[in-house]
Amino acid sequence: MEKVSTAIDFGGGKEVRFERIGVAGVITLTRPEKLNALSHAMIKAIDRALRDWEADDAVLVVIIKAEGRAFCAGGDLRQIYESRETPLVDYFADEYRLNAYIESYRKPYVALIDGLVMGGGVGVAFHGSHRVMTENAVFGMPECGIGFFPDVGATHLLSDLADNFGIYLGLTATRIRQGDALWSGLATHAIKSDDLEPLYDMLAETGEMDGATRYFLTLARRETNRETIAKIDSWFGAATLPETLDRIELAAMTDEFAAEILAMLRKMSPTSLFVAFRSLSAGQTLSMAECMKMEYRICNRMLHGQDLYEGARTAIIDKGDKPRWRPQRIEDVEEADIDSYFAEPAGGDLVL
């Protein structure tokens, strides 16, 4: 069909575009030079658009997509690092409220993912009703490698995955593709990138996601084989992080995959690993809203700590430099110190 577009200004400047096309409200992330990293202005603008469209009977479906080779590589790490003297608590509070709102959105919310999606990008894509991934899509949660933890609702999203696959993804920062995402439940649909445009056209015309996808669904074979999944389930099914590491260390004596995982974990922030393991484990019995409040508590503590900014420094300032975590070794982390990350912050809990 010929797409008649009506642009709408919900804020966000040149970083995000909002349009009404047919029966669809369309969000397009337009910051490709920054891999569509989410700024605070983008987060607030998306929230305003969603609230407007939820109340508009003429909007039957919301579509979120992106320009460039990445859907969204996460939050704006440089902005976070440069604000280390005045931590961006409000940024994360608004982001977490948006994540929770998307999860409870009352209309079909369709994310069209055709490139890299990590961190904050996961938060605006994977809590909606439909997560469509092409063969070009790559999913990852790299936070433990930068001194943070899997947030933006990952404690709800990853903890739901079978075979302890979510805990594995959250701790190791392993990236997965279309097949693993579909079979684990992270993605709801797999299509070919060439079919994105016709799917988009049909959605804008009809607003009927289930009917539209019948024309474009493709078979995506899982990239991780059953034997490897069984290993992941065994190793990451332990009750504690130390026990998890013991299992992997034992297996690494004869198993190359275990040795690779152990090497990855040894590069992560020790504090992040402990916090991530506990929060992902807790998420198995918490609602999305409860997870967001827990994540806000952890985030507050980390924003006033050291490892996040140290991880950001080595990622964007002194690239290639080895981060100096505090503590540096996993063996030196005290469980009592981890308790403080789950305590109510001085400013109070997140209000959704």
Cβ atoms within 10 Å, residue 218: 13
* CA distances (Å), origin 243, targets 68, 249, 270: 42, 10, 14
Catalytic one among 19, 76, 114, 143? 143
Straight-line distance from the first to the last Cα atom of the chain, in angstroms, rounded to the nearest whole number = 39
Residues making up the chain, counted from first to last: 352
Is 249 marked active-site?
Answer: no
> What span, in angstroms and rounded, lies between the C-alpha atoms of 147 and 318?
15
Backbone angles phi, psi at 223, to 5 degrees: -75, -30
Bridge partners of residue 132, in order along the sequence: 112, 189
Is 166 marked active-site?
Answer: no
Helix axes 256-267 and 241-252, enclosed angle (nearest 10): 140
Catalytic one among 12, 22, 74, 75? 75
Catalytic one among 95, 151, 180, 310? 151
DSSP string, 188-208: SEEB-GGGHHHHHHHHHHH--
> What span, in angstroms and rounded, lies between the C-alpha atoms of 124 and 43?
9
Catalytic one among 120, 145, 283, 311? 120
Is 143 marked active-site?
Answer: yes
The token pair at 172 is 């190791």
Known catalytic residues are 75, 120, 143, 151
